[in-house]
Amino acid sequence: MKLEVQVISKETVKPSSPTPQHLHHYQLSFLDQLQPLVFMPLVFYYLNHREANLHNVEQSDRIKKSLADALTRFHMLGGWVKENLYIDCNDEGVNYVEAKVKCSLSEFLEINELPTAIQVTFFNCGGLVIGVLMSHRIVDSDNSCTHTHTLFPPQELSDFNPNLGITNDKIVTTRLVFDASVIAEIREKYSSDDKIIEYPRPSRVEALSAFIWSRFMASTQPKLDPDKIYSILHAVNLRTKTEPPLPYAYFGTSRGGFCGIIKPMREAIKKIDGDFVKMLQQGDVYLKYANENNSRFVKGVELKLSFTSLCKFPLYEVDCGWGKPAWVSAAKFTFKNVVVFIYTKSGDCIEAWFHLKEKDMAYFETYKELLAYVSPKNVV
């Protein structure tokens, strides 16, 4: 199916009220400074609700007003990052693009393939799609009520390059859906009979991470290089690890490295406790690790597969005034070897969004031991 997408307008949406002068300088934390200069893309799909009886212009005005109001609360999203040290919250606003697609949204959703910036795309049927790009360094470790730089003081990073993970390789994005019954089967497959283990049955994210890792290695690395490091990276929530614990709604995660499957994963994640957070607050130890990690990447002696889960985020609660989205999806990353987990609307199935090099994807998505577990059904 060929989609004809026409850009209607481009503009900048500014905060509905000016940022107070004392909040214009938002200091980046040490963890913010280490973040790569990439965006976290999410796409929200809304079917037409005739009872709302809103035209495109009315829907657009409502979205822009909501965005302008949100920027007064999250004022750092409407500013500029300066010198990798702070955000100048100058109320410049965010990029806002509108486009129109010459088909209905339901037709589009039948397809199985598919800087802060917003794009709203209108469909012939009255449905619309809101695409959101948010700077990873701002939304991943930021907080609207606590200054993170006091928890993780900024460091001198003249020798650190946060963009080493960004690749010029052609990245292919593919979505695979794992049904509830399949996830249950995979969880049983990776369960342990060891009575000493506190939780012998892995969580859904643990089980899928282990399953995907094993299939990724089998399909793309049939012969292991003894001189290469093979590792998994998994996003870990730091909110509950600080003293005192941070609010659940706090923007942000951090990464914890680990090798192996399930047990090593848990052991590594358990190490991310209050003492680990105190080590991060010192900065120099983690900076040394980050530099060594980047060095291995540059030399090509380490192969990573990174996982991040958005399953517990209330993505399907985003209501702009005409109901909740019919679908929420990830979008293309500039990073390779990244897997993003998102619950389906029902909450019992999980979509896994893969971002791999074209060559690796060709092996991975045709691997029979993977496809046997993947659901062919549409999202809605």
Residue 242: what pLDDT? 58
Give the 3-state secondary structure of residue 339. strand
* Distance separating alpha carbons of residues 343 and 325, to the nearest angstrom: 13
The CATH number corresponding to 171-312+326-371 among 3.30.559.10, 3.40.50.10140, 3.40.47.10, 3.30.465.10 equals 3.30.559.10
CA distance 62 to 125: 19
Domain boundaries, the chain: 5-151, 171-312+326-371
DSSP string, 268-321: HHHT-SHHHHHHHHH-HHHHHHHHHHHHHHHHT-EEEEEEEE-TTS-GGG--SS
Instruction: Classify domain 5-151 by CATH architecture.
Output: 2-Layer Sandwich (3.30)
pTM: 0.74
What residues pair up with 154 in beta bridges, in sequence order? Answer: none
Contact 380, 109 (CB under 8 A): yes
Helix (H) or strand (E) holding 229: strand 229-236
Helix boundaries (H) for the chain: 30-34, 56-73, 105-109, 136-139, 148-151, 180-189, 204-220, 263-270, 274-282, 284-299, 358-364, 368-371
Beta bridge partners of 117: 95, 133
Secondary structure (3-state) at 257 = strand
Per-residue pLDDT of the chain (380 residues; tens, 9 = 90+): 667 889 999 999 999 999 999 999 988 887 788 777 777 788 999 887 655 566 788 889 999 999 999 999 988 888 888 888 888 999 999 999 999 988 888 777 766 444 477 889 998 888 899 998 777 666 654 444 465 667 677 777 766 666 665 666 788 999 999 999 999 999 998 888 877 777 788 899 999 999 999 999 999 988 888 888 888 888 766 655 555 555 444 443 334 322 346 777 777 777 777 777 777 776 676 777 777 776 676 666 778 888 989 998 899 998 887 889 999 998 888 778 899 999 999 999 999 999 999 999 999 989 998 998 998 655 44
How far, CA to CA in Å, does 378 sit from each of 69, 317, 375? 35, 21, 9
pLDDT digits (tens, 9 = 90+) for 222-255: 888 888 888 888 876 665 555 555 544 444 333 4
CB 137 within 8 A of CB 42: no
SS3 content of the chain, % helix, strand, coil (to 5): 30, 25, 40
| CA separation for the pair 126, 121 (Å, rounded) | 10
pLDDT tens, 98-130?
999 888 887 777 664 444 778 899 988 888 999
Domains 5-151 and 171-312+326-371 are alike in CATH topology: yes
